[in-house]
Amino acid sequence: MNDPGTSAAAEESIPDVPTRIRTGLAAGFWTSLKIIKVSVPLYVAVTLLKETPFLGLLGKVFAPVMGIFGLPGEAAFAFVAAFLLNMYAAIAVIVPLHLTPFQVTQCGLMMGVAHNLVVEGGVLSTTGTRGGVLTLCRLVVACGAGLLLRGLWGLWDSAASWATTLAGHS
Amino acid sequence: MDVLLSSLLGGLKLSAKLILIIVPLVTLFEVLRHLPVFRRAGNVVEPMMRGVGLTRDAAIPLFTGIFLGIAYGAGIIIRVAQQKGLPARELFLMGLFLATCHSVIEDVLIFVVIGGNGPAILGVRLGLAVVLTGLMARVWKPA
């Protein structure tokens, strides 16, 4: 075992390029089906819910929590979709909500860390490490990342406005 | 009725956008991932991995997770982890890194499509993963 990093890859027989393309396209096709199956109904549901008082009410309930991260309360619905399902589901909820670029970025960051918790928690625990601990870590890290981004974005904004003022004076 | 129809169209458009990113990305990855360049890349990343308490044995599952994601890369992650008999400490550190930073290309691209800031998402995730795993590696000393 003088070269453990490469021997594991060598144990896998290498398929030829057409086979690889086919594997990739097949994987892409199944992912596409999954995307349509989840995203279209959710997108429609959120757009319709926006016409009712329900979404606004939900937003008010979660506004204090979501506000910590600079997000509107309605975004809580997107987080539920991300935690239980996946990023595509979350995106289908986010788009009809018409968030600002910062809010979209914030969602992308926090949900990127913590999504699909049920399935991925299962995978992480099969590697032998405790899946529950890591899932908890993901939720904590997601919150930490959200606070960090909010701070950094604020700094960036003030630095940018400071720079434009400076440029304006010269 | 108008709302239903237009939202249906909106949902389909969004799906089409996402699919246009995912299919080429997955296909490209399948074609490229067997290139010898990536085998040799192990030498380059080894010092970086040591910084977060990982050895070369964890390289394949780690990078599979970073680029492909935990669900899609599950097969490779689980198989290599068992073949190599990675110690519990290393499995946990790898898990912690991947929990924070995985499937980065796909996740970032789909949020850029809907108006997010890609470098900000990528930077914070990668930075946090390195800092957290590095700290944890110093707290949990190797046996």
Contacts of A55 in chain B (CB under 8 A): none
Cβ of residue B41 closer than 8 Å to a chain A Cβ? no
Query: Residues 3-42, chain A: which have Cβ within 8 Å of B?
Result: 4-6, 8-9, 11, 14-15, 17, 20-21, 23-25, 27-29, 31-32, 35-36, 39-42
Specify the pLDDT at position A12. 58
Residue B60 or B123, more confident: B123
Specify the pLDDT at position B72. 67
Cβ of residue A137 closer than 8 Å to a chain B Cβ? yes
Cβ of residue A167 closer than 8 Å to a chain B Cβ? no
Specify the pLDDT at position A75. 94
Q: Is the pLDDT of residue A55 over 50?
A: yes
Indicate the DSSP class of residue A70.
Answer: T
Return the domain boundaries, chain A.
Answer: 16-169
| ipTM value for the complex | 0.84
Q: Which DSSP string corresponds to B4-59?
A: HHHHHHHHHHHHHHHHHHHHHHHHHHHHHTTSHHHHHHHHHHHHHHHHTT--GGGH
Percentage with pLDDT > 70 across chain B: 95
Residue A117: other Cβ atoms inside 10 A: 19
Specify the pLDDT at position A6. 44
The phi-psi region of residue A22 (left if phi > 0; otherwise alpha if psi is between -120 and 50; otherwise beta) is alpha
Two structure tokens written together for B93: 């550190």
Query: Residues 45-104, chain B: which have Cβ within 8 Å of A?
Result: 46, 56-57, 59-61, 70-72, 74, 77-78, 80-84, 86, 88, 91-92, 94-96, 98-101, 103-104
- Label residue A113 by pLDDT band (50, 70, 90): very high
- Label residue A9 by pLDDT band (50, 70, 90): very low
Q: What integer best gives the mean pLDDT of chain A?
A: 85
Which of B74, B68, B129 has the alpha carbon at shortest distance from A141? B129
Residue A19 C-alpha, separation from nearest chain B C-alpha, in angstroms: 9
Those residues with Cβ within 8 angstroms of residue A63's Cβ, 6 or more apart along the chain or in another chain: A72, A73
Q: What integer best gives the mean pLDDT of chain B?
A: 85
Minimal Cβ distance to B11: which of A9, A25, A43: A43
Q: A127 vs B88: CB contact, 8 Å cut-off?
A: no
Q: Which of A36-40, A130-134, B15-19, B58-62 has the lowest mean pLDDT?
A: A130-134
Q: In terms of C-beta density within 10 A (0-12 exposed, 13-18 middle, 19 or more buried), how is residue A33 classed?
A: exposed
End-to-end CA distance of chain A: 64
Q: pLDDT for B21-74, tens place per residue?
A: 888 888 888 888 777 777 677 677 888 888 888 988 888 888 888 887 776 667
Angle at A34 between CA A32 and CA A40, to 5 degrees: 90
pTM for the whole structure: 0.83
